[in-house]
Homo-oligomer: A and B are copies of this chain.
Amino acid sequence: MGVTLKQIAEIAGVSRGTVDRTMHGRGRVNPETAKRILEIASELGYRPNPVGRALALTRKTILIGIIVQSSSTPFMKLVIEGIQKASEELHDLGAEVLTEFLESVDAKQTIEAMDRLIDKGVQALALTAVDGNDLRERINSLAEDNNIPVITFNSDILGTKRLCYVGQDSFRSGETCAYLMSLALRGSGKVFPLTGHLTNVAHQQRYLGFAKECEAHPGIELLPLQPCFDKDHYAYELTMHALREYPDLSGIFVIANGQSGVCQALMDAKKKSQVSLIAYDLTPQNRQHLLEGHIDILIGQGAFQQGHQPPLLLYNYLLSGAKPEQEFLYTDILIKTKYNL
């Protein structure tokens, strides 16, 4: 064990309460005693024991609110597992996590969910953002007027007073995919990029990163971007069409959902051996595709972390005012093949 408050108190000839107050700058302590205490503490290398602290603080009930959009997609299920794990951990520390699940992606509904959570008394909020001024203003007013810290995860909204963003670096992951694609194609070939929604910022960024890095590989010809609205049947049709249009197609980059549709099309057209397929997210379905060789490379975006981190960060912030170290907490970009899944 390290040095304890009690030991410092004894040496300084004061009570533990006094030491506690000075160590946490809670005021109400004579500057001179404070100075003496701080000296002793630093000399002895005092570090507060988080376990004792946690136990004492189980009395304060902390309420944290979470809002998850598109909550029933396979990817979000992974994120939600992270949230649940964090809830359990925080439960032991006497904090409670309230979660609102939204089916769609919608600023208005998000704001309504925020209001509901605030009404229930949450002292901090983490949410998947969606661009829009209403939401932006709501976040800012919470942060400033109500003193309720907000963290965005999975999707960000810039120009707000949010504490930080926990999620993928979409642009960078796009670059990574392009690099892998160029490896797989030995530097040349036609690549078909299939996105989810043209308006989705994360999808855009993935594409932009991919396109930018493709420029470094002149042999790679990037075909026109197509959206499949995250639907497998559109993805199927679009892939079929691309295969007919470009018989020498050698790569497909699936930016969002629709992976199974693409796989099916490649199988039906008997073109898998000729086409390298890179896609996103370690969902059970995609893992299966990877293991069966329908997908060559999967990119994982730390789904679990995205759900796990925000509640813990908010808890720490509420308890000790500790802000996250960075404004952008990017999750790892995982490259998975069938061999290292």
A residues bordering B, Cβ < 8 Å?
1-2, 49-52, 54-55, 58, 61, 91-94, 172-173, 175-176, 179-180, 183-186, 213, 276, 296, 332-340
Contact = CB atoms under 8 A, between A and B. Distances in A.
Contacts of A337: 176, 179-180, 335
A176 B230 CA distance: 30
A339 B212 CA distance: 13
Given A91-B2, A186-B185, A338 B51 contact: no
Nearest to A93: B51
Contacts of A94: 1
A176 B1 contact: no
A339 B172 contact: yes
Contacts of A332: 340
Given A184-B184, A213-B339, 9 more contacts: A1-B94, A52-B55, A173-B340, A175-B339, A176-B337, A176-B340, A179-B337, A185-B186, A334-B340
B176 A339 contact: yes
A51 B52 CA distance: 8
A93 B1 CA distance: 7
B92 A340 contact: no
A332 B333 CA distance: 13
Given A172-B340, A175-B339, A340-B172, A51 B54 contact: yes
